[in-house]
Amino acid sequence: MAVTETTVAESCAAAKRAARAIATASTEVKNAALEATARMLGERSGEILDANAGDLADEHAAGLTAALRDRLRLTPERVAAMADGVRVVAALDDPVGEELERKTLASGIDLRKVRVPLGVVAVVYEARPNVTIDCAALTIKSGNAIVLRGSSYAERSNAALAAIVREALAEAGLPEDAVLSLGGGGHEELAELATQEGLVDLLIPRGGEGLKAAIKAVATVPVMYAAAGNCHVYVHAEADPEMARRIAYNAKVQRPGVCNSAETLLIDAAIADRVAAPILADLAAAGVELVGDERVRAAAGEVEVGAADDDDWATEYLGLKMAVAVVDSVEDAIEHVNSHGTGHSEAIVTANEEAAEEFVVGVDAAAVYVNASTRYTDGFEYGMGAEIGNSTQKLHARGPIGMRELTTFKYVAHGDGQVRE
């Protein structure tokens, strides 16, 4: 079965052995495993949905927020979308073996810089079962093995999905242990996974600040955080009002429970009296609870806006709540974003190219948008096929974590007998 009954160390050792085999697999063989995965997802959709229904009905899921239950829930459409995503990954160029640089040294040695897999990637994630498939597809295509540790309340769903991928790997002649699921163990298991030096080459936690803190406290393996998204939309003084309404609404409402949804709206003082009320009315009509500073409350007209406290500016709500502030300039907007944001995704709405460039250069974030919604920070939208998460770090990857972010490189030197004097 996909959920292992061995220790964490034994599972990681098995993944390490599998990693050596899949690292040298041809593109054709890896794609065959992905095509088999996509086919089986379609053939066994009912089995997957039954497992998911069991998770949703379990007492572990009883206390979840509406946003987390939405993340946990699978539908026939979502299973089909998983299969489509796997096929997209299969169609992408294989990053393994890509030549990054090549030159002839003074010694006559031919030196190449070549992309290679990382080895064993471990991913810790909450709620969303589709992450199981996204992660597996990306690691298979990039020649890595993966150890998955999902939430206890998604254990049935994750086990069903991981079992399908393992079966597809075997069908293609690749080791099943290139994909291993640990189920939803406790903090001791998490700590053990984060300390598997020599076996785990990279650990990626996907979740809130609590998970991030728990990993930071114990990790001895390299960690890349797919971190929280306290994202902002700034409506500049020269913004098109209708464009601002569409973007602010989409960034907050289209799917509020994800990391690239906007949590704070900033409106320039020069146009607040004209644009604040219509934008806020749209949001309120969609059920968004609004809190803000005194200036935005004064400009809100008949729209109810509660008083924001200091914590609101730094909160990732992951739901239908939004903080709103009036700022006096691009500089003030940048200062607010850099003081309270998490470095994920930020947007400015403006017709002024100089203001846009000032915002782009000044904001410290993995993704910055000019006249577009923050909801586009996504591996699918960026043409990566899928993503393991969005990194807000600066090393070794930033933004959507796709196939290339799951690779490193080696230098390959060809000589004809050279020795160094």
Domains and CATH numbers, the chain: 8-226+388-414 (3.40.605.10), 231-376 (3.40.309.10)
Average pLDDT over residues 171-184: 93
pLDDT for position 236? 98
Average pLDDT over residues 123-139: 93
Displacement of CA 370 from its chain's centroid (Å): 21
Tens digit of each residue's pLDDT (9 = 90 or more) over 269-302: 999 999 999 999 999 999 999 999 999 999 999 9
Q: Strand 262-268 to strand 231-235: parallel, antiparallel, or no bridges (unpaired)?
A: parallel
pLDDT at 15 over 50: yes
pLDDT at 200 over 60: yes
208 vs 328, higher pLDDT: 328
pLDDT at 220 over 50: yes
Average pLDDT over residues 155-170: 97
Q: What percent of the chain lies above the pLDDT cut of 90?
A: 85
Tokens of 153: 């309340």
Determine contact, residues 127/151, Cβ cutoff 8 Å. yes
pLDDT for position 5? 62
Give the Cβ contact number of residue 310 at 10 Å: 8
What average pLDDT does the chain have? 94
Tens digit of each residue's pLDDT (9 = 90 or more) over 329-363: 999 999 999 999 999 999 999 999 999 999 999 99
Tens digit of each residue's pLDDT (9 = 90 or more) over 137-159: 999 999 999 999 998 899 999 99
Tell me the C-alpha distance between 232 and 255, whole Å. 15
pLDDT at 183 over 90: no
pLDDT for position 60? 82
Minimum mean pLDDT among 237-246, 322-331, 387-396: which range? 387-396
Give the confidence band of 110 by pLDDT, cuts at 50, 70, 90.
Answer: very high
Give 161's contacts (C-beta < 8 A, 6+ positions apart). Answer: 2, 41, 48, 82, 129, 132, 133, 136
| Residue 380 burial (C-beta neighbours within 10 Å; 0-12, 13-18, 19+) | middle
Q: What percent of the chain lies above the pLDDT cut of 70?
A: 98
pLDDT for position 4? 47
Coil, helix or strand for 145? strand
Q: Strand 231-235 to strand 345-349: parallel, antiparallel, or no bridges (unpaired)?
A: parallel
Tokens of 108: 């006559």
Tens digit of each residue's pLDDT (9 = 90 or more) over 40-72: 999 999 999 999 999 999 988 888 888 788 889
Tens digit of each residue's pLDDT (9 = 90 or more) over 23-45: 999 999 999 999 999 999 999 99
pLDDT for position 267? 98
Give 282's contacts (C-beta < 8 A, 6+ positions apart). Answer: 245, 248, 249
Determine contact, residues 82/34, Cβ cutoff 8 Å. no
Tell me the C-alpha distance between 234 and 333, whole Å. 7
Tell me the C-alpha distance between 160 and 165, whole Å. 9
Distances (CA, A) of 280 to 256, 289, 306, 349: 16, 10, 12, 16
Amino acid of residue 172:
A
Tell me the C-alpha distance between 36 and 29, whole Å. 11
Tell me the C-alpha distance between 284 and 317, whole Å. 16
Tell me the C-alpha distance between 232 and 97, whole Å. 39
pLDDT at 127 over 80: no
Give 149's contacts (C-beta < 8 A, 6+ positions apart). Answer: 122, 123, 124, 125, 181, 182, 183, 184, 185, 189, 190, 193
The DSSP output letter for 421 is -
The model carries a pTM of 0.88
pLDDT at 1 over 50: no
Tokens of 85: 């995503």
Q: Strand 145-149 to strand 262-268: parallel, antiparallel, or no bridges (unpaired)?
A: unpaired
Compute, in degrees rounded to 10, the torsion defined by CA atoms 181, 156, 85, 199. -10
Tokens of 393: 């770090």
Give the confidence band of 6 by pLDDT, cuts at 50, 70, 90.
Answer: confident
3-state secondary structure 167-185: HHHHHCCCCHHHEEECCCC
Tokens of 73: 């829930």
pLDDT for position 30? 98
Nearest residue to 349 (alpha-carbon basis) of 272, 245, 229: 245
